[in-house]
Amino acid sequence: MHQRKRNRCISCRLEEEDKMLDLISFLTQIPVREGIKIEVVAARSYLFPFVALLIGLPVAVVAFLAFGYLGAANEIAALLTLLALYLVTGLIHLDGLADFFDGLLAPGSKGDKIRAMRDDKTGIAGLFATILLLLVSLFAVESIGAGLTATTFTFNFISLYDFASVFVIAEVSAKLGMNTCMVLGKGFDDNEGLGALFIQSFSPRKYMSTLLSAMLLALLFTVFTTSVRVFLVFTGIVVACLVSYVAIKKLGVISGDIMGASNELARCTTLLLWAILFT
């Protein structure tokens, strides 16, 4: 009997690890598995902040090495950091940002705007929004990296921790933005696409778990830095509330594209605030 109970525990643990791989595969380009169960991802979306940790750490390592070795070439270091970010995450959420702005700025009724958002072709509004966000992110990363290496820079754990605190918190903020859209989207999903599946699978109780996870990670990566930085993780909530408000007012729905846009805007805003306030 004891052996059966032990086997069940092992089986449950392996099952949970297997589901975590689905989350990693969905949110990143890390090759942990080929096929994913999207229903599992939607049901476990409250764990997004922990996947953000897996995204932020390798990006922080690239930034740490790039800014440390390239010296005064901060522009190149920032570009390498941004390239590393999108190599890890892919472009799925950036595509959502472009689609959202195409729909938002399209003329006509809400139905016309939704059709423009779902069009496979990227319009000028989406292109402009994408370029602007990438430029702001690039300049913010450059400013942050230059600030972290402005004094005597040494390749040690403390310096790496400083970079990790930036990119982990920015990525957790981004995922918190997505989860906030999910909880705000109740009653505003259009019963189509992945966005509706995530909204219907989410709940206020799961959102509380997301908040606690995000706060825990933020505290973990600010314990050796200025404590007020921990509150930057909540930037994702503010951004998501604004994005959701605009989406509901102009489009009448909250979809997967809007969640993706919130992810990108929350990360960019967090990096920008970090650059303005702490460099």
What tokens were used for 155? 């390749």
Residues in contact with 84: Cβ distance below 8 Å, sequence separation at least 6, in sequence order: 58, 59, 62, 63
Contact (Cβ atoms closer than 8 angstroms) between residue 49 and residue 172: yes
Q: For the segment 88-138, what is each residue's pLDDT rounded down to a tens digit?
A: 999 999 999 999 999 999 999 999 999 999 998 999 999 999 999 999 999
Contact (Cβ atoms closer than 8 angstroms) between residue 279 and residue 187: no
Q: Is 159 helix (H, G, I), strand (E, B) or coil?
A: helix
Residues of the chain with pLDDT > 70: what percent? 92
**pTM summary value:** 0.92
Q: For the segment 54-75, what is each residue's pLDDT rounded down to a tens digit?
A: 999 999 999 999 999 987 799 9
Number of C-beta neighbours around residue 247 at 10 A: 27
Task: Say which residue the tokens 């982990």 belong to.
Answer: 168
Q: For the segment 147-202, what is each residue's pLDDT rounded down to a tens digit?
A: 999 876 788 888 999 999 999 999 999 999 999 999 999 989 877 788 999 999 99
